[in-house]
């Protein structure tokens, strides 16, 4: 709706020419016999409007005429203007680039030779909110480069956006920003110039501002606690420990309080304290890792106060049981590895879930007031009771060995489904890194996979949530896991992780070291399992998808957990207008569409749709994507696809 009103009866303007007062019929202000009518506004859209006015008896001395406008009253030519040369009697200008749902004030103006502008009475109008269709028509896809090697250096960090992201944790703060924190890792180790646990922020999850390190120096307590344990074990202190700063998790505890649990790994051998490399191997395992705590009241400040040690790696062996016969032996000394924390608040109780590769994932209760363990920790060796021990309860593991090939738990609760979810990273980082998911009706478990198997017993969890993949016209991505899962407060859920280029991408030096942060949308199946979209989130307006848009060719990728160590490629699936599948793995099947829930059922498999960016297109554009799961002869497969024609 257009709202127009006249606000002023007359304007007083100083001129070196003879000034005229308001005209008798109050059409506007004048100079001599020249007057300006109040402007009329028409054709208002969410981003434009046409403004017209009449100059009565224009003077030959007029050299400019036009419209000035602003979101503040009484605009002048010092504000935004649309103008034309000459002394014609009409003014008609289309204002563009306006903001939606905004009040604008406009005045017509003329400028006479060697004189100040004179103005008409003021008129205002309100732009409407843009419709989804209008937003989609005007949408521009993100243009930042995935190959950021040309600007990977520290001095160009203002260009990084999501470049150099590894093991992200994301929290939405009170100021409306999403803050992302990460492992210390970057292409060419550029991050080393700026501290640890680096931060960036975004309002839209697409454009990210780099803020720098949250910790400038390793806290003194790490070395002190390390050598305190070593002294008790009868070992010499390590004077210059080699540190790794890994995988923080950040949560809002309440208004004005945010907690970061971070991992610091000591990469020295236990026996001699020598740095960890093959030449220094001394028939011992490497030293323990620590999880510490920092707090802040304002993430925008990027100033955090360290609160010290929370927990460290612990062993069920004796304190001198750290011998390792050879580098090929994987009978690890530590049972729970104190890295990769995640933190969840369940009502009034707080829980830290952590662990990586060594034996499984542990859960420990946290004191809500201090952020530290609720129960006092004992010595981190000789622990035998893992169901009640102070170092945590075993809640999930991959198999029953002491070297698991799983890490990076992320635990969240979805009130819409009524389940807690635990996302886990499987496999080594370089290629096959992939994500699995478990769920539970209690934060304490049991945590089961889609087959109902209890992960505490040691299982190969199903289904695969993300996996290395490759659409056509691209090199694809590998190493997609160790995720952050979060929502926007309005029921929209997101998955964020790093992803890497494959090895030996032509023209990219050390391509597998290129780490780009990815953010993807999550939808939830009717059975309450999360499906992650195959293309990255680009804030595409979610115009309802019509059935006719589904007809044509799709690139489809089918993934499963039985073929890790590879990129799954795509094949064409064609949907015909008569609801048949005429090409692809499901050729001969049929399809139908639930427009209300935006679910495509193809060959009996429910595929959850969303509008996203086609990141492989040049230039990038919008498309429709799907994700779903189906059981094929006892094997759960993950179905990804995007519309290409």
Phi, psi of 515 (to 5 degrees): -115, 115
CB under 8 Å to 579, separation ≥6 — which residues?
590, 591, 592
Looking at the fold, whether 407 and 337 belong to one and the same domain comes out as yes
Looking at the fold, whether 265 and 382 belong to one and the same domain comes out as yes
**% of the chain exceeding 70 in pLDDT:** 94
How many other C-beta atoms can be found within 10 angstroms of the C-beta atom of residue 336? 28
Whole-model pTM: value is 0.89
Phi, psi of 380 (to 5 degrees): -85, 45
Distance from C-alpha of 376 to C-alpha of 397, rounded to nearest angstrom: 25
Which tops the pLDDT comparison, 84 or 582? 582
Closest Cα to residue 421, out of 431, 433, 430, 409?
Answer: 409
Of 502, 532, 562, which marks where a domain is finished?
532
- Reported as a single tens digit per residue, the pLDDT across 526-550 is 999 999 999 999 999 999 999 999 9
Looking at the fold, whether 277 and 388 belong to one and the same domain comes out as yes
Of 20-34, 165-179, 426-440, 617-631, the poorest mean pLDDT is in 20-34
- Going from the C-alpha of 489 to that of each of 174, 176, 472, 610, the distances in angstroms are 11, 11, 35, 19
Ramachandran region, residue 526 (left: φ > 0; alpha: ψ -120 to 50; beta: rest): alpha
Q: Residue 15 above 50 pLDDT? A: no
**% of the chain exceeding 90 in pLDDT:** 87
What pLDDT is stored for residue 389 in this prediction? 67
Residue 14 in domain? no
Looking at the fold, whether 330 and 245 belong to one and the same domain comes out as yes
In this structure, the chain runs to a length of 645
Looking at the fold, whether 515 and 577 belong to one and the same domain comes out as no
HSE of 52 in the Cβ direction (CA atoms, 13 Å)?
A: 9
Residue 11 in domain? no
- Reported as a single tens digit per residue, the pLDDT across 346-368 is 999 999 999 999 999 999 999 99
Residue 138 in domain? no
User: What confidence category does residue 28 fall into, taking pLDDT thresholds of 50, 70 and 90?
Assistant: very low
Residue 539 in domain? no
What pLDDT is stored for residue 11 in this prediction? 33
User: What confidence category does residue 24 fall into, taking pLDDT thresholds of 50, 70 and 90?
Assistant: very low
User: What confidence category does residue 16 fall into, taking pLDDT thresholds of 50, 70 and 90?
Assistant: very low
- Beta strand segments in 441-590, E: 464-466, 469-470, 478-487, 493-500, 515-524, 530-532, 552-560, 568-569, 571-575, 581-583
Of 56-65, 193-202, 417-426, 625-634, the poorest mean pLDDT is in 56-65
Specify the CATH number for the domain of residue 572: 2.40.128.10
- Reported as a single tens digit per residue, the pLDDT across 136-182 is 999 999 999 999 999 999 999 999 999 999 999 999 999 999 999 99
Q: Residue 6 above 90 pLDDT? A: no
Q: Residue 109 above 60 pLDDT? A: yes
Distance from C-alpha of 148 to C-alpha of 163, rounded to nearest angstrom: 7
Of 104, 130, 156, which marks where a domain is finished?
130
Specify the CATH number for the domain of residue 90: 2.60.40.10
Closest Cα to residue 595, out of 644, 638, 543?
Answer: 543
Q: Residue 222 above 70 pLDDT? A: yes
Looking at the fold, whether 83 and 182 belong to one and the same domain comes out as no
What pLDDT is stored for residue 12 in this prediction? 31
Looking at the fold, whether 592 and 630 belong to one and the same domain comes out as yes
Looking at the fold, whether 280 and 194 belong to one and the same domain comes out as yes
Of 507, 532, 557, which marks where a domain is finished?
532
Residue 157 in domain? no
Q: Residue 3 above 70 pLDDT? A: no
What pLDDT is stored for residue 85 in this prediction? 81
Distance from C-alpha of 540 to C-alpha of 610, rounded to nearest angstrom: 9
Specify the CATH number for the domain of residue 256: 2.115.10.20
Q: Residue 18 above 60 pLDDT? A: no
> Which residue is listed with tokens 């059981």?
631
Looking at the fold, whether 250 and 398 belong to one and the same domain comes out as yes
Ramachandran region, residue 444 (left: φ > 0; alpha: ψ -120 to 50; beta: rest): alpha
Looking at the fold, whether 443 and 518 belong to one and the same domain comes out as yes
Q: Residue 25 above 90 pLDDT? A: no
- The total number of structural domains in the chain stands at 3
Residue 198 in domain? yes
User: What confidence category does residue 386 fall into, taking pLDDT thresholds of 50, 70 and 90?
Assistant: low
Of 17-26, 190-199, 489-498, the poorest mean pLDDT is in 17-26
Looking at the fold, whether 521 and 591 belong to one and the same domain comes out as no
Torsion over CA: 323, 326, 332, 338 (sign): positive
Q: Residue 575 above 60 pLDDT? A: yes
Torsion over CA: 507, 511, 514, 518 (sign): positive
Residue 155 in domain? no
Which domain range does residue 29 map to? Answer: 19-130
Residue 240 in domain? yes
Looking at the fold, whether 351 and 490 belong to one and the same domain comes out as yes
How many other C-beta atoms can be found within 10 angstroms of the C-beta atom of residue 505? 15
How would DSSP label each residue in 281-303? --SB-B--EEEEEEEES-GGGT-
Distance from C-alpha of 36 to C-alpha of 123, rounded to nearest angstrom: 13
Distance from C-alpha of 455 to C-alpha of 425, rounded to nearest angstrom: 14
């Amino acid at each position: 709706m257009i709202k127009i009103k006249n606000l002023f009866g007359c304007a007083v303007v100083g001129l070196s020419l003879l000034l005229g007062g308001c005209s008798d019929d109050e059409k506007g202000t004048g100079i001599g016999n020249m007057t300006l009518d109040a402007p009329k506004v028409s054709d208002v859209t969410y981003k434009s409007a046409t403004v017209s006015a009449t100059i009565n008896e224009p003077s030959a001395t007029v050299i400019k005429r036009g419209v000035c406008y602003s979101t503040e009253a009484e605009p002048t030519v010092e504000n935004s203007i649309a103008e034309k040369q000459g002394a014609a009697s009409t003014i008609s200008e289309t204002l563009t680039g306006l903001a939606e749902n905004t009040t604008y004030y406009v005045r017509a103006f003329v400028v006479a030779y060697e004189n100040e502008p004179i103005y008409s009475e003021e008129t205002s109008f309100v732009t409407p909110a843009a419709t989804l269709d209008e937003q989609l028509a005007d949408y521009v896809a993100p243009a930042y480069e995935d190959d950021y090697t040309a600007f990977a250096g520290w001095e160009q960090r203002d260009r990084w956006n999501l470049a150099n992201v590894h093991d992200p944790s994301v929290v939405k703060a009170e100021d409306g920003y999403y803050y992302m924190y990460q492992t210390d890792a970057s292409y060419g180790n550029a991050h080393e110039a700026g501290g640890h646990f680096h931060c960036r922020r975004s309002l839209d999850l697409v454009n990210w501002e780099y803020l720098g390190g949250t910790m400038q120096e390793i806290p003194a307590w790490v070395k002190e606690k390390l050598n305190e344990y070593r002294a008790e074990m009868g070992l010499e202190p390590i004077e210059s420990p080699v540190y790794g700063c890994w995988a923080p998790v950040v949560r809002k505890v309440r208004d004005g309080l945010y907690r970061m649990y971070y991992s610091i790994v000591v990469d020295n051998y236990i026996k001699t304290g020598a740095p960890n490399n093959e030449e220094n191997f001394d028939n011992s395992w490497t030293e323990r890792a620590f999880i510490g705590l920092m707090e802040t009241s304002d993430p925008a400040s990027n100033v955090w106060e360290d609160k010290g040690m929370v927990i460290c790696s612990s062993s069920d062996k004796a304190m001198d049981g750290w011998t390792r016969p050879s580098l090929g032996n994987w009978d690890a000394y530590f049972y729970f590895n104190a890295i990769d924390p995640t933190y969840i608040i369940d009502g009034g109780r707080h829980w830290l879930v952590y662990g990586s590769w060594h034996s499984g994932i542990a859960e420990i209760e946290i004191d809500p007031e201090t952020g530290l363990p609720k129960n006092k920790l004992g010595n981190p060796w000789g622990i035998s009771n893992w169901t009640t021990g102070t170092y945590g309860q075993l809640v999930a593991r991959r198999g029953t060995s002491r070297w698991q090939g799983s890490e990076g738990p992320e635990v969240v609760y979805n009130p819409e489904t009524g389940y807690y979810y635990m996302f886990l990273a499987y496999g080594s980082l370089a290629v096959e890194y992939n994500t699995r998911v478990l769920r539970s009706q209690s934060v304490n478990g049991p945590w089961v996979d889609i087959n109902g198997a209890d992960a505490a017993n040691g299982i190969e969890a199903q289904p695969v949530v993300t996996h290395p993949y490759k659409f056509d016209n691209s090199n694809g991505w590998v190493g997609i896991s160790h995720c952050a899962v979060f929502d926007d407060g309005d029921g929209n859920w997101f998955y964020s992780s790093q992803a890497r280029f494959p090895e030996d991408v032509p023209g990219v030096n050390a391509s597998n070291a290129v780490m780009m942060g990815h953010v993807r949308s999550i939808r939830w199946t009717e059975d309450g399992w999360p499906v992650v979209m195959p293309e990255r989130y680009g804030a595409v307006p979610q115009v309802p998808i019509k059935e006719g848009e589904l007809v044509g060719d799709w690139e489809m990728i089918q993934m499963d957990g039985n073929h890790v160590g590879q990129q799954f490629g795509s094949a064409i699936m064609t949907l015909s207008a008569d609801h048949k599948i005429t090409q692809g793995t499901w050729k001969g099947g049929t399809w139908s569409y639930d427009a209300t829930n935006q679910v495509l059922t193809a060959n009996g498999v429910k595929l959850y749709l969303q509008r996203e960016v086609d990141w492989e297109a040049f230039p990038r554009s919008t498309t429709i994507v799907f994700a779903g799961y189906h059981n094929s002869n006892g094997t759960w497969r993950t179905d990804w696809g995007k519309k290409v024609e």
